[in-house]
């Protein structure tokens, strides 16, 4: 799905960025006028245990893993890779809704609202 996946450590797990997600990330950064990429993480929350977090990545730290696909960077704190390893980040339009979608192989269950998941 992704033309490239780059990681700080070649033995670390990966996160794949689809072409649609990359296009959306680049558009958002362009509109914002600054930023290196999209920062993705997880936090304990919601009905099912974990919730995805997203923000702009304005810097890359020593404890961050960087993944790139189709010219867009996704930055993930290494501590979140246990939950996010193997995830495909996509951007989808479904009716009037447009959203980033996480296809996470570790997600065993999700709440009805789609906001949280269990591993």
pLDDT (tens digit per residue) in 9-64: 444 579 999 999 999 999 999 999 999 999 999 998 866 688 999 999 999 999 99
Quick check: helix, strand or coil at residue 10? coil
Q: What is the pLDDT of residue 76?
A: 97
pLDDT tens digits for range 93-119: 989 999 999 999 988 877 665 567 778
- Residue ranges of domains in the chain, CATH in brackets: 16-118 (2.60.300.12)
Q: Cα(11)–Cα(63) distance, rounded to whole angstroms?
A: 15
Whole-model pTM above 0.75? yes
Whether the CB-CB separation of 58 and 64 falls below 8 Å is answered with no
Strands 88-94 vs 97-103: parallel, antiparallel or unpaired:
antiparallel
Return mean pLDDT, the chain: 86
**DSSP per-residue string spanning 52-104:** EEEEEE----TTEEEEEETTEEEEEEGGGHHHHTT-EEEEEEETTEEEEEEE-
Q: How many CB atoms lie within 10 A of CB 112?
A: 8
Q: How far apart are CA 76 and CA 65, in angstroms?
A: 5
């Amino acid at each position: 799905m992704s033309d490239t996946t780059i990681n700080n450590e070649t033995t670390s797990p990966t996160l794949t960025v689809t072409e649609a997600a990359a296009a959306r990330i680049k558009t958002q950064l362009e509109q914002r006028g600054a930023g290196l990429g999209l920062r993705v993480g997880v936090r304990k929350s919601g009905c099912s245990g974990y919730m995805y977090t997203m923000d702009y990545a304005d810097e890359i730290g020593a404890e961050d893993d960087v993944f790139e696909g189709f010219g867009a960077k996704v930055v993930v704190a290494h501590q979140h890779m246990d939950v996010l390893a193997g995830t495909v980040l996509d951007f989808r339009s479904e009716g009037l809704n447009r959203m980033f979608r996480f296809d996470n192989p570790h997600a065993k269950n999700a709440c009805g609202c789609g906001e949280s998941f269990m591993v």
